[in-house]
Structure 1
Amino acid sequence: MDMEKLKQWMDIAKNMHGGDFWNNIFDQEFAKQFMNEQPIHSSTGDGQIGRAEKPKSFPLIDILEGEEEVVVVIELPGVTKENMELGLSGNILTIKGKVNPVNPQLTIRHSERFNGDFQRQIPLPDTVSPNQLSAKFWNGLLFVSYQRKVEKGEIIPIE
């Protein structure tokens, strides 16, 4: 597209959406993030595609909350129990570890899966102590749970 056609297209968009269309669109937070995002893959120049970068939120989590229990489900594909560490400070649960390549002897031709070191801090809805947590690893999912202390107040008789 030559510059003249681009200018015409911009003028048409300006007329259709009002004079501040371009100023407003680039002020939007999503536009700023989009403009600053790096591609997940980088070309190595010989037709090969490099390793995937760490996603912004790895590992993925779910926090399930009930009146008496909280469960954090942490998705850890390709991580073994020996290659992860769980910590707690106040109400911040920290998971860190390493995802090893599936077959390090082979050259990566294309990769969308994350490999390497990771760390993620997860704010819990309550402040708990480490001995209140239970952690179970099953099928690439780490389940971290604790029982909430439900205070049952005493009934005060009314005279």
Structure 2
Amino acid sequence: MDMEKLKQWMDIAKNMQGGDFWNNIFDQDFAKQFMDDQQATQSFSSMKGQPRQTEKAEERSFPIIDLLESEQEVIVLIEVPGVKKENLELGLIGNILTIKGTVVPIYPQFNITYSERFYGEFQRQITLPDSVNPQQLNAKFWNGLLFVSYQRTIEKGEIIPID
């Protein structure tokens, strides 16, 4: 692909996303994971024939989520183990759902010798498939799971008679 065509594609993408296309692309979790995978592949291929000294622990976003969709409803299932409802905050701007919170150690008087759990403040942004108003969202907290859902509004166009 020549540079002129690439510039045209970039302009089209920029116009479709209101000028923030590349920032939105590289802010997404899949892009971060892709970039990490690419770096790991490059570092592995540069070490041909040499054993790896250290394995990078798999980094995952916290909290982990599931996004479920049907024609009538969207559900975001957010896993926040050990977090109290009072330590969570939800926000919505356009179709970006933001969850913030704090994971407090269960035994703060003890020193952590080894841990695989996440502790501290977190924030995660989730792109919803539709733009919704905050009043349309329902949020329920149950056993360390936060369920955020909304009903999709199905717009049926009017039939216009043709003369």
Tell whether the structures are fold-level matches, with TM greater than 0.5: yes
Q: How many residues align?
A: 119
Q: Structure 1 residue runs of 4+, over 6 Å off? A: none
Higher helix fraction (1 or 2): 2
Task: Give the letter for the 1:30 counterpart.
Answer: D
Gaps of 5+ in 1: 1-27, 41-54
Task: Give the letter for the 1:67 counterpart.
Answer: E
Of 96, 100, 105, the residue aligned with 2:104 is 100
Of 32, 43, 50, the residue aligned with 2:39 is 32
Q: Which residue of 1 aligns with 2:128?
A: 124
Is 1:77 matched with 2:81? Answer: yes
When Rg is computed on C-alpha atoms for both structures, the one with the higher figure is: 1
Q: What SS is found at the alignment partner of 2:89?
A: strand
**RMSD of aligned Cα (Å):** 2.7
Task: Give the letter for the 2:83 counterpart.
Answer: V
Q: In the aligned structure 2, how far is the partner of 1:59 from the partner of 1:30? A: 20
Q: In the aligned structure 2, how far is the partner of 1:146 from the partner of 1:62? A: 15
Question: Please, what TM-score do these two structures have when normalized by structure 2?
Answer: 0.64
Gaps of 5+ in 2: 1-34, 45-53
Q: In the aligned structure 2, how far is the partner of 1:75 from the partner of 1:29? A: 23
Q: In the aligned structure 2, how far is the partner of 1:85 from the partner of 1:38? A: 34
Identity of aligned residues (%): 64
Aligned-residue offset at 1:106? 1.1
